[in-house]
Amino acid sequence: MTTLQLLAAEQKSAEVTDWAARIGWLIGIALVVALVYWLMREGWKWRGTLQNDLPELATAPEDPGPVRLTMSGRYHGSTTAGQWLDRIVARGLGTRSRAELTLTDAGLDVVRPGAADFFVPAAALRGARLDKGIAGKVLSEGGLLVVTWQHGDKAIDSGFRSDHAAEHLEWVEALNHMINKTETEGAR
């Protein structure tokens, strides 16, 4: 036999892809992803059930008074005050969304398209500060406006980010001035 005949005799065709095994792996991976998603969803619902003692959120009064400040931006969520990772999901407070904030003498009105709006009465406001994070969102230092307020027997921090971050400091000053004024008038 010649060398050419030996080479021709040794050639084999390429292996055929085992489609059944590949499809089985893809279905297995899809099932694992679906299971993880379902478990995360159940955890979210369970957290809401545990926080079910949170009272209904207030709505804005008919005549809230003159507008002091407005802001367009994003609502990033609410946590237990002082515990930036303890997210509150009850009453829709865990839903991130666009937000329109309006500060009046009556309080802070938060309008959220696609999510439940809420109102924080002036007497319930406890403080405002610039921060870098709240559950699920971390920004550069001072990139987040955090408003602390009292709802029932629970102190809550709510995080907002303006479309124009330069507005944050003005909001902190206005909210804290309003809170100090309300506390001073209440002490008389």
pLDDT string in tens for the chain (188-residue length): 566 665 556 666 667 678 888 999 999 999 999 999 999 999 988 888 888 888 888 888 888 889 999 999 999 999 999 888 888 988 889 889 999 999 999 999 999 998 889 999 999 999 999 998 888 788 878 789 999 999 989 999 999 999 998 899 999 999 999 988 766 666 55
126 shares its domain with 37 = no
Q: Which two tokens stand for residue 140?
A: 């550069």
Flag whether 62 is in a domain: no
119 shares its domain with 39 = no
87 shares its domain with 155 = yes
160 shares its domain with 90 = yes
Flag whether 149 is in a domain: yes
Phi, psi of 64 (to 5 degrees): -80, -5
Flag whether 98 is in a domain: yes
Please write the tens of the pLDDT for every residue from 132-164. 888 878 887 878 999 999 998 999 999 999 999
Exposed, middle or buried: residue 79 (CB in 10 Å: 0-12, 13-18, 19+)? buried
Longest dimension (CA), the chain: 114
pTM of this structure: 0.76
Flag whether 169 is in a domain: yes
Residue 12 confidence (pLDDT): 66
Backbone Cα Rg of the chain: 28
174 shares its domain with 95 = yes
34 shares its domain with 106 = no
Flag whether 119 is in a domain: yes
Find the domain containing 153 and state its range: 67-187
Flag whether 120 is in a domain: yes
Flag whether 146 is in a domain: yes
31 shares its domain with 90 = no
103 shares its domain with 141 = yes
Determine the straight-line distance between the first and last CA of the chain, rounded to whole angstroms: 114
Q: Give CA 22 to chain center in angstroms.
A: 38
Residue 31 confidence (pLDDT): 97
Flag whether 7 is in a domain: no
102 shares its domain with 181 = yes
35 shares its domain with 97 = no
